[in-house]
Amino acid sequence: MGNKGLFLDRGIVITIIILSVIPFLLQNSFHYEIAIMCMLNAVICIGLNMLVGYTGQISLGHGAFAGLGAYVAVILSTTYEFDPVLSILVACTVLAIIAFFVSKPILKLEGHYLAMGTLAVGIIISIVLNNEDELTGGPDGMGVSEFNILGYVFENDIQWYILSAMFLVFSIWALQNVINSPFGRILRCIRDSETAAKAIGADVPYYKTFVFVISVVIATAAGSLYSYYTGFISPEESGFMRSIELVVMIVFGGLGRIYGAVIGAVIITALPQFLTFLHDYEHMVFGAIIIFVMVVMPKGIVSIFDVLKVSKDKK
């Protein structure tokens, strides 16, 4: 009973095993870059899934929030020579405050209107990042200072791989705990019926705001880490397409499913790299694969596991 809080379920154990095997398959720096990009995208998607998949509030602005957060951290540590970890913490706080004030009016909207609202916020952020070139370097982007934790410098791919993997495993574990807790139950209740949530005594706007802020903070943390890893940041990473890409990842993987966000992020991030041998037809095939999967599995890739489970139970 004492340490049941540290209980790890099968999914987490399998994830850890997969994550520890993958480095043996990675041959060069480019492979590492894809792996790290997959993992950090997966972390952003886990946060976004909490908002979109579990609470039922769509956001088409999370790419912009992740980008803005990364810029805040990077500007602090590069231009003003703050400690990188401190910069990320400050960026998370700043973005939490921004998300809080943005969410107050915007989460009053529902469905398509909320999508439009968050989309607009995302575009505004993107324009600001492009135009404030004294701070952000404008459309050309800017270089980023090196990353260290309490003086321990991250310089090679393996270090970054381990850091991202730990971040990912922790995010999966924490989200899983939250979703199965009373807090998570209320989120799911809001998704299914806001009226029911009110009737059982939940302050719906409070929870919506709370989750929105958390997902933005997670996006900020993962987005900043990615910029430190690549050593470069540009407004492109906060653009409209980036926000759409994040939503595609969680829908493709499976809305409201913990591993859905992870698998979706990995596939959508890595697949284009595997398709490069197709040259000019790369995007066409990529699009066709997404359409095919969504037609066959409208509930996302993870619904395969449900089918497997049902057929196993029947035997």
Binding site for another protein (CB under 8 A): 1, 4-5, 7, 174-175, 177-178, 181-186, 188-189, 191-193, 195-204, 210, 214, 256
Shortest distance, position 313 Cβ to another protein, whole Å: 13
Strand partners, 232: 143
Shortest distance, position 132 Cβ to another protein, whole Å: 33
* Element containing residue 143 per DSSP (H, E): strand 142-143
CA 291 vs CA 45, 60, 274, 275: distances in Å: 20, 20, 18, 16
Give the C-alpha separation, 93 to 213, whole Å. Answer: 10
Shortest distance, position 309 Cβ to another protein, whole Å: 14
Residue with tokens 């009016």: 105
- Where helices occur in 149-281 by DSSP H, the ranges are 157-179, 182-192, 194-199, 204-230, 240-253, 258-274
Indicate the residue among 127 and 196 with the shorter CB distance to another protein.
Answer: 196
Give the C-alpha separation, 203 to 194, whole Å. Answer: 10
Indicate the residue among 186 and 266 with the shorter CB distance to another protein.
Answer: 186
**Are 108 and 48 spatial neighbours (Cβ–Cβ below 8 Å)?**
no
Give the C-alpha separation, 48 to 41, whole Å. Answer: 10
Indicate the residue among 156 and 193 with the shorter CB distance to another protein.
Answer: 193
Give the C-alpha separation, 285 to 293, whole Å. Answer: 12
Shortest distance, position 4 Cβ to another protein, whole Å: 6
- Cα four-point dihedral sign 118, 170, 225, 263: negative
Give the C-alpha separation, 187 to 48, whole Å. Answer: 13
Indicate the residue among 2 and 151 with the shorter CB distance to another protein.
Answer: 2
Shortest distance, position 202 Cβ to another protein, whole Å: 6
Q: At what angle do helices 10-25 and 157-179 cross, to 10 degrees?
A: 170
Indicate the residue among 133 and 203 with the shorter CB distance to another protein.
Answer: 203
Name 224's Cβ contacts closer than 8 Å, sequence gap at least 6. 69, 70, 72, 73, 74, 87, 88, 91
Shortest distance, position 228 Cβ to another protein, whole Å: 25
Indicate the residue among 1 and 150 with the shorter CB distance to another protein.
Answer: 1
Indicate the residue among 71 and 173 with the shorter CB distance to another protein.
Answer: 173
Indicate the residue among 20 and 195 with the shorter CB distance to another protein.
Answer: 195
